[in-house]
Amino acid sequence: MTRQYLDVPYRSKDAAKGLGARFDGSVKRWYVEAGVDLAPFAAWLPAEAATAAPTHRTMALPDCAVSELVVSKRGISLSQLLSGVATAVARAFPESIWTLVEVSEASVRNGHVYLDLSERDSQGQLIAKARGMLWARTAARIMPEFERATGAVVGAGIKLLVRARPVFNGAYGFNLDIEAIDADYTLGDLEARKNEIRVRLREEGVFDRNRLLTPPWDYRAILVVAPQDAAGLGDFRKEAQRLERFGLCRFVYAHSRFQGEGAAAQIVGTATQALAALRDCDALVIIRGGGAVNDLAWLNDYLLARFICGVDVPVLTGIGHERDKTLPDEVAHLCFDTPSKVIAGIEQHIRRRAQEARHAWETVLGAGMQATRGARLALERREAQVRTEALDHLARARRDSIAARNGIATDAVHLVHAASRRSLALLNDIRLNSARDVAQARQRTPALMASVRGDAMLGLSKGKSVSQAACNLVVDRGALATRLASSDIKRRIRQVAEHADAEVRRGRESAQALMREIAGQGPAKTLARGFAIVRNEGGEALVSSAAASEASVLRIQFHDGAIGVLPQFPPERK
């Protein structure tokens, strides 16, 4: 007989395989080659083979069930000893058992998953260590289900509740064959760690501090912290460079590890140094590509979350996952699913502010244009009013000057006539008095005519002298009165003329100032404000549509030149 077949139950197949047994697919049974010590396989030997087994004496192994080992005079071989240990382990743990472990390292070879497992106390000291094994068939069955349920991959740092059976192999040592993994435990452990940090931050009163910061009115300078060559960093940079190219925002990049031991502390140190070097920073962006839950779990760190809460500028996160939120997402000012959505949110914020600024500019421009139109209309009204008042003032001054001149001339004529009448009256009175005196003298002294002829002649001479003197006096008085009246008339005429000249000068100066102001506007300035002058072929300005319709060619003068056009009017206007 070349082979010894064994009765190995399905749950013990891995233990039998670990001891060196092989599987015969034709008969569906495990076996060992002839000449191999059957002692380690005693529990699985058929009844007839167990009876035929050679007689041997036994020895007890400490801390395990009794194992039968063949002992020679010189002792037992190492393989026999280890086979006994394997048998003892198999008998002590005939079935798998749920065990709490923490993965220190994981690797995959030929579909098999190899794990370094450990346990640490509350101070982080290592108190237990073992190797774990998922055979390719088992791994293919339970690993996809675990990853779908948790979103995590089995890797360093993750805690697991596994159903495993201890197996000892003489060639490979002690190993835990893992048959199942409880996904609920892993999720609960990850969430428990996050909840402890949440509670601590709330007790410190900083959990909502960054989320409640007032967002910047606009983004001008942004610090971006991301892993070197991260999956989502390229997409972020492409959109960010477009914003920088147009001068809308400046981006400064700093790089750090985002997973593994000490990743959170490195992120905090990198961000702190970059913020200190960057002045007028409007926001801090923390991004990384997608990953498994346990890869992202390195970010669920108190130091990193506390740093984000204490930053004085809004923090924007784009960790690159959609199903679960990390603690940085929860305490950040804004969180996005991916880095691309972070830069899209920044761009939307900048676009929204630009639209608001444009709307404000259009509002100010409209108000300014309306105010300009109002001022221009008011100026035109004031100009027309000033022109009208100036013309009225000039007309009144002209009328007043003419009336004053006419009045002076009339008064002068009246005074001359009055002086002339008074002079003639005085002259007549003198003549009448002289004639009366002569007549009375002739009547009273006819008898004495001769005797007093000399006296009469003397008296006559005196009378003539007196009369001549009186006449001369009357004439002198009349001439004096005339000269005085003429002087008064001339003085009044000069006063009126001076007053009229002053009024005319003031009116002329006011009109000239007004015309200078009007001329200062000038046709060129009027044309520069958007007006135009329409002329006919002779160069005459046209001010009505009727005059324009009669012209064969129209020349439209603008502020920078003139063009000729042919008049075109609707049929009813031709």
To the nearest whole number, what is the mean pLDDT of the chain? Answer: 81
Give ∠ CA 468-473-476 in degrees, rounded to 5. Answer: 120
Assess whether pLDDT exceeds 60 at residue 53. Answer: no
Alpha-carbon distance of 168 to 15, in angstroms, equals 8
d(CA 33, CA 445): 215
Mean pLDDT to the nearest integer, 475-488:
82
Q: Alpha carbon of 98 to those of 94, 144, 177, 180, 509: distances in Å?
A: 13, 20, 12, 9, 113
Regarding predicted confidence, which is higher, 1 or 364?
Answer: 364
Give the DSSP letter of residue 45. Answer: S
Handedness of CA 299, 301, 304, 308 (dihedral sign): positive
Would you state the pLDDT for residue 93? Answer: 82
The CATH number assigned to the domain with range 206-337 reads 3.40.50.2300
The strand order across the sheet containing 334-336 reads 250-255, 221-226, 283-287, 315-318, 334-336
Helices (H), 261-338: 263-277, 293-296, 302-310, 327-331
Q: Are 197 and 155 in contact (CB under 8 A)?
A: no
Q: So what's the pLDDT on residue 68?
A: 43
More confidently predicted of 154 and 245:
245
pLDDT in tens, 160-201: 888 888 888 877 788 888 988 887 777 666 777 788 888 999
CATH of domain 97-181: 2.40.50.140
Structure tokens at 313: 């500028």
pLDDT exceeds cutoff 80 at 568: no
Q: Which residue has the tokens 């983004």?
A: 219
Q: pLDDT tens digits for 374-407?
A: 888 888 888 888 888 888 888 888 888 888 888 8
